[in-house]
Amino acid sequence: MIERSVVVRVHDGLHARPATQFVKLAKSFACDVEIRCNGRGASAKSAVKLMLLGVKENDEATLRAEGDDAAEAVSALATFLQTPDAGEVDLSAPRPADGPATAAAPVAAGERGVAASEGTAIGPAFPFFPAALEIRPRTLTPDAVVPERARYRAALAATISSFREARAKPGLRRDDAAIIEALVEVAEDADFIAAAEDAIGAGRDAESAVESAGRAIAESFEALTDPYLRARAEDIRSVTRAIVLALLGRRDTTLADLPKGAVIVADEIAALDLAKATLADIGGIVCRKGAATSHVAIMARAHGIPAVLGFGVDAAHLRDTRTVALDGASGEVVLDPDEPVAARFRGAIAREAEERTRLAAYRTVEPRTRDGRRIEIAANLGSLAEIDAALAAGAMGVGLFRTEFLFMERRTLPGEEEQTETYVKLAQAFAPHPVVIRTLDIGGDKPVAGIDFEHEDNPFLGWRGVRMCLERPDVFKPQLRALLRASAVGNVKVLLPMIADVGEVRAVRALIGECRAELDASGHAHGAFELGVMVETPAAVFVAAEIAREVDFFSVGTNDLTQYVMAADRLNARVAKLNRTEHPAVLAAIRMAAAAAREAGIWIGVCGEAAARPDLIPFFVENGVTELSMSPASIPRAKKCVTEI
C-alpha cells in the first residue's frame, strides 16, 4: 500500500467541480484509492462520498492506494490536492459582469432574499413549478427483481445521455458545461447506484428505490455546515428527479419555451433546468430556495442574469404573480409592483444599460491619457480557451500568460512541440499586439506531476519559480526552446518569475544562449524576444536598478509583491486587512521599481489584480507604467479610466 498525507490547497476545498475532476483523475488509475480527512474516509472514485467528507482548503488529507499503479495515482492525486486553482471558478460570492452594476433605488414595498447575481430586472413572471412526483410503491416478487434492475439501468443510461446532450447545448460556457458534468458524475456515482440497486434487490420498485437513495444522500448534504456543500443537495434532488421521471416515462416541465425577458419564479431551479433554457432570453430569476453558492447562482452570474434566491414568500403567492421586479445586487424583490416602483426599477435598468453601452464603446479604443500618453490594456490568460473572451473585451495583447496551467492537472510534463504549438497559437491570435509569456511559475503550493517537491513549511518562500527552473534545466530548457521557436511570429516577450538576484537573470540568459545553439544545430527556425522580470519580491525592488540594466522590461506582480512587502499571506483571511496593494509601503516599492525602469530606459507594466482598480490606475500611470494587464471583463472599464486621467 502507498500512503501520503498532504495539506489541501484547492481553493474552497473539494466541492462539486474540483471533486468531479478529482474523481475523474482517480478513475484513470486501476488501483483502489481512499482519501481520509478529519477522521473519516471515502473512495477517491466516488464524487458523492468525496463531497460528503467536506474536505476544505488547508485540511490535511491522507491518500492510500493499493494496486499496480498505486504510486502514480497517489503522486497525481496529491498534486491535484496541492494545486490552488484545480479547475475552479470563484464560487464564494456574486461577481459583476463587464461593468459595475447600478442597483435600483430602495423600494419600501419590496422584500429581500439572497443577492445571488447582480443586475436589475422587471418583466412578466414565468412560473416554473414542476409537478410533484407521484410514486406508488410496489413490492417486487423475487422473479421481478432482475427485470426491475434492468429497467432502472436503462433509465439511468437515458438520464445520463440527456445530461450530456444538455452539456453540449450551444450557448453554454465551459463553466456551465462543468456544472452539468458534475451532475453526470453524481448520476454515475457507484454508491448512489449501489443504494438504489440494493433497495431493488430487497424488493422495492425502481422509482421508490431511487427516490429513497437520493433523499438519504440529499439529507446528508443538508446536514453539513459548509454552505456550498449544503447547496449540493439541490444537485442530488435534480439527478434523482430526472431518473424517476425516466422510469415513469414522463417528460418534465421545461424552460425551453421561456418568453424573452421573462422572470423565472420557482421553488428551486436545478442547473440542468437552466441549461435547457435560452439563457440570453432570461430576464431574471427569483427562487424560494437556494443560495449564492448554488449552481444556478453561479450560472446566472456567468451570463449576467439578475437573480435573487432564498426569497421567503408563500409559494401560492409566487405562482399567482404577474410581474416581478428584482435587484440582484441587494436581494430586493417586488411582486406586481405599482407604477412608481416599476418606474424606479426601469430607471435603474436604463442606467445599467447606459453604463454597459459606455463601457462597450471602449472595447475598441486605444486608450490615451488627456495629455496623450498611450497605455496598453492587456489580458491575463491561463489557456488558449480564454482568447476569444479577451479579444471580445478589446485586449491589446496579453500582459501575462501563465504557462503553469499547461503543466498542471496532467500526469506527464508537456513536451517542446506541444508548448511551441500553444505559444504560436497565442502569438498569432493577438498579432501584432505583444504577448508576454511567463516561464513556469510553480512551487510547493503549485506542484506538477514529474517534478518532486519536498515538503516546505512556507512554499511561498521556497523552491519555486525561476529558482526551481534553474535547477531543473531538463524542464526549463524545453520551454525556453519552445519560446524561441514561437518568437518567429514576432510579438512574443518572455517574463521571468520570482527574481531576487541579478545573477538569476544572467543564468537564464546563458541558458537561452545554449537553447539557440541547440535549435540552430537541429535546424529549427527561431526568433528573438524581449526578456523581462516580475517585480514581486522586496529584493527585486531594492536591486531594481541593477536588474533593469540586464532586461528589457519589468512587470509588477502586485499580488505577491503585496504579500511579501506586508509579510501577510494573501490566502490567510486573518491578516487580510494587511494585504492591501494601496498600503503606502507597497506603493513605495512600486514607485522605486518604476523609477529604476525609467532610469534604465525600459518599460514597466503591472499584471496583478490591482492593475484593474480605478483607484490605483492613476497612480500607476503617474509613475510611468505603460501597460496594465487584467482579467478580460475589466478591460473596458480600465480603458475608460485611462482616458479620464
Query: Can you read off the three cell numbers belonging to residue 567?
Result: 509579510
H/E/C letters for each residue in 372-399?
CCECEEEEEECCHHHHHHHHHHCCCCEE
Cα radius of gyration rounded to whole Å, the chain: 27
Phi-psi region of 256 (alpha: psi -120 to 50; beta: other; left: phi over 0): alpha
- Contact between residue 369 and residue 620 where contact means Cβ atoms under 8 Å apart: no
Which member of 11, 15, 295, 526 is catalytic? 295
Q: Which of 37, 515, 607, 641 is catalytic?
A: 607
8 Å CB contact between 558 and 498? no
Q: Which long-range contacts (CB under 8 A, 24 or more apart) does 95-99 make?
A: 95/301, 96/633, 97/301, 97/304, 97/633, 98/304, 98/356, 98/359, 98/360, 98/393, 98/633, 98/636, 98/637, 99/355, 99/356, 99/359, 99/636, 99/637
Closest CA to 480 of 384, 551, 403, 557: 403
d(CA 88, CA 85): 6
Q: Are 502 and 538 in contact (CB under 8 A)?
A: no
60-66 and 435-438 as β-strands: parallel, antiparallel, unpaired? unpaired
Catalytic residue list contains 607: yes
Strands in 328-381 per DSSP E: 332-335, 376-381
Query: CA 541, 546, 547, 549: dihedral to nearest 10 degrees?
Result: 140
Euclidean distance between CA atoms 367 and 381, whole angstroms: 21
Active site residue ranges? 295, 607
